[in-house]
Amino acid sequence: MKSNSQPIKLFLVVAFSCVSLLVSLIPVLAKPTDDSSVSDAVRGASRREGGLRRSSDPKTTVAQATTFKQPPLPPGLPPGGRVRGGAKRGGCPLAKPDLTALMPSTKEANSVINVWGQTIGERPSWFFYVPYTKDLPYEVEFVLQDQDSNEIYQKAIALPDKPGVIRVSLPTTAPALALNKPYLWFFTINCDKEKNSPPTFLQGVIQRVQLNPATVKELQTTEPLKRYSIYAQNGIWYEALTILAQLRQKNPQDAALQAEWRNLLSSIRLDDIVAEPILSDKP
């Protein structure tokens, strides 16, 4: 027994050492090659593929790409204007959001606010957020004047059933807008029965312009959401807003259209109007 014990002990020592060595090597053997550039490239490719798949939806693609391009102010005197009604003006009660024109505006260095936008239509539509309802005895009016302050259209506006965005359009009986001429519009609410206070008002300038023939041809052969994108990218506010408002009314649960609406109003600093309902699409 003694003569065999030494070889057995030696065998066990050697075997144990081999097992220990193998165990110590397992984490090293199991660990992948330390090539961070390759793994990062693979992960990057995976992310890019995921991004491409997400953007393959045409509505999502337009929503990610569309940006309203505000054109420069027209030559001559700044148009001025008012995009918000103003707290307590004309005796109207405080409201949040305030009476608001869905119009782009710029603020100059001298704090002058310019409210203006372009259209290609002879008889465009305006959109206003109105916080007051028909149960209130307020007088509401829309007026359009030419550059010489001559009134060319006037209409009494009925207050809506609930607060929201309303649409006011020039009817076929109104004179068509002439090309490249500025027109001044007013949207007023008189909340003072005695009319001792001036009305709350919104004010801005609209100008009809022409697009180049290639863009006009493209607009004639594309679907509405793409037309919206073309108008927005060419600085044509009135048609861009009208198309998007109509699409949202027809598809109120469409996430891509909701994103477009949010993006458009946020681009002109009207984030507080994004969630308000569009009440009527009738001229």
The answer, yes or no, to whether residue 203 has pLDDT greater than 80, is: yes
The answer, yes or no, to whether residue 68 has pLDDT greater than 80, is: yes
Confidence of residue 79 (pLDDT cuts 50, 70, 90): confident
Gyration radius of the chain over CA positions? 33
Percent of the chain with pLDDT over 90: 61
| Model pLDDT, residue 281 | 54
Contact in structure between 133 and 163 (CB atoms under 8 Å): yes
Q: How far apart are CA 57 and CA 63, in angstroms?
A: 10
* CB atoms near residue 112 (< 10 Å): 12
Confidence of residue 61 (pLDDT cuts 50, 70, 90): very low
Cis peptide bond N-terminal to 137, omega within 30: no
Phi, psi of 64 (to 5 degrees): -75, -25
- Show Cβ contacts of residue 24 under 8 Å, excluding neighbours closer than 6 positions: none
| Model pLDDT, residue 26 | 36
The answer, yes or no, to whether residue 116 has pLDDT greater than 90, is: yes
- Show Cβ contacts of residue 134 under 8 Å, excluding neighbours closer than 6 positions: 158, 159, 160, 161
| Model pLDDT, residue 247 | 95
H or E segment at 184? strand 182-190
Taking every pair of Cα atoms in the chain, the longest distance, rounded to a whole number of angstroms, is 127
H or E segment at 239? helix 237-250
Percent of the chain with pLDDT over 70: 74
| Model pLDDT, residue 198 | 84
The answer, yes or no, to whether residue 178 has pLDDT greater than 60, is: yes
Confidence of residue 30 (pLDDT cuts 50, 70, 90): very low
Confidence of residue 89 (pLDDT cuts 50, 70, 90): low
Token digits for 208? Answer: 């009809």
The answer, yes or no, to whether residue 267 has pLDDT greater than 50, is: yes
Contact in structure between 112 and 214 (CB atoms under 8 Å): no
pLDDT in tens, 119-172: 999 999 999 999 999 999 999 999 999 999 999 999 999 999 999 999 999 999
Residue 52 DSSP code: H
Mean pLDDT of the chain: 79
Q: How far apart are CA 207 and CA 180, in angstroms?
A: 6
* Neighbour order of strands in the sheet with 105-107: 105-107, 113-119, 200-208, 182-190, 139-145, 151-156
- Show Cβ contacts of residue 220 under 8 Å, excluding neighbours closer than 6 positions: none
